[in-house]
Every structure is written in C-alpha cells, then in structure tokens.
C-alpha cells in the first residue's frame, strides 16, 4: 500500500480470510519491519489465536467476513484523496463509469464512528451493502476482494477515482452518468473476463 502511494506510515490495515477466521496485520507496527510471524490470527468470534495484538480495526474486518462470504481479503487505507473526500463526508457519485468497479453506481461514505468500535463496524457493513468499497467519514477507505490482489487493486482504483473527482470539483460540479448507463457498465464488468483462467487471457474464436 505504501509503495503504491495509497497509504503512509503504519496507518491502515490488511486482512485475508483463513480457516475459521482471518489473518490481520498487527497493531501499530510499521509495514517495512513486519514479518510473517507478526501477522495475527483472529477467529470469527473475535478471539485472538496465538500471540500478538491485532489491528485495532479487527472488528470491521470480522464483520465483513461474516456478512460477505465471498470476501477473501480486506484492505483499509488512509489514502490522501479518498480521505479528503471522507473528511467532507462525501462519497463518490457516478461521475465516471469506473465507479462501477466498486460494485454499484456510487461509492458511499460511512458515517463517522470512533476507530476500532463496533459502531464503526456496523456503519461499514451498511455502506458496503451491494458494494465492494466505501469511504469512512473523517477516516479513510475500505476495499474488499476475492483475494489480496483484488482488494489491493480495487483500493488503487478507488483512490484514483477520488483524486479525479477531487480535481473536477476544483473546476465545478461534474455531471453524473445516468442510472441506466451505470447498469449497462455493471453488466459489462460482470461479463468481463468471464471464463478466463487466472494469469491467462480469455480464449477467443
């Protein structure tokens, strides 16, 4: 996340689904010194397995894995432009067709709640209803995916969209695409790459 410019320092956190729960980055540890032994296992009841202290945001990671069985990974960052919009309590509307990459015709901004709380986790689940990404008011953003690569890739996409949306707001209020157009884009994204083997291009005839 830091190398890609969507996070700084020890902010944010990452998790991946594992048998009986998930693996999550530890609390308050810089990523460049983190080793495999530092990653913390947490079950879906919120119990830590083994030693280590999980990220303070483990509650919304757990909530996502319980509510979204298709989610294999969660990436939470404090990226600059997504966070700037979140501090204005603004989501990202359908100003660009790529907003559909997050699963709907907008990217919602969850209401504010103190970090690490169950209240924040509840807000996150509502903001992610029918979506794979959301902003967190006065906080940052979350992206989910089938695996770590997918979640990280979506986080990069969301930050790019936030940056472009932020830039357009400096000029004026952008026009939004119609709901019918976004439905068409969502359908095309659903079909895109269908049948492809991971790492290989789809076969054509």
What order do you get walking across the sheet with 109-110 strand by strand?
A: 48-49, 40-43, 21-24, 13-18, 73-77, 140-145, 133-136, 109-110
Catalytic residue among 57, 89, 159, 184: 57
CA distance 66 to 24: 15
Best CA proximity match to 138, nearest among 175, 178, 88: 88
Task: Give the pairing type, strands 13-18 and 21-24.
Answer: antiparallel
DSSP 6: S
Give catalytic status of residue 159 as yes or no.
no
Residue 158's alpha-carbon distances to 22, 36, 39, 43, 121, in angstroms, are 24, 28, 26, 29, 20
Helix (H) or strand (E) holding 14: strand 13-18
Tokens of 34: 């983190």
The catalytic residue positions are 57
């Amino acid at each position: 996340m830091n190398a890609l410019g969507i996070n700084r320092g020890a902010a944010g956190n990452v998790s991946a689904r594992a048998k009986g729960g998930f693996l999550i980055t530890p609390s308050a540890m810089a990523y460049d010194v983190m080793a495999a032994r530092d990653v913390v296992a947490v079950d879906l009841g919120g119990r830590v397995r083994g030693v280590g202290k999980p990220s303070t945001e483990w509650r919304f990671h757990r909530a996502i894995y319980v509510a979204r069985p298709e989610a294999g990974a969660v990436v939470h960052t404090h990226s600059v432009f997504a966070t700037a919009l979140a501090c204005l309590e603004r989501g990202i509307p359908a100003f660009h067709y790529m907003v559909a990459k997050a699963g709907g015709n907008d990217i919602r901004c969850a209401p504010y709640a103190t970090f690490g709380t169950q209240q924040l986790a509840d807000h996150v689940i509502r903001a992610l209803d029918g979506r794979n990404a959301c902003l967190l008011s006065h906080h940052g953003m979350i992206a989910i995916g089938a695996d770590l690569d997918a979640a990280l890739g979506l986080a990069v996409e969301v930050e790019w969209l936030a940056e472009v949306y932020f830039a357009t707001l400096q000029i004026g209020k952008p026009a939004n695409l119609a709901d019918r157009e976004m439905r068409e884009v969502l359908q095309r994204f659903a079909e895109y790459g269908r049948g492809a083997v991971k790492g290989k291009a789809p076969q054509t005839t």
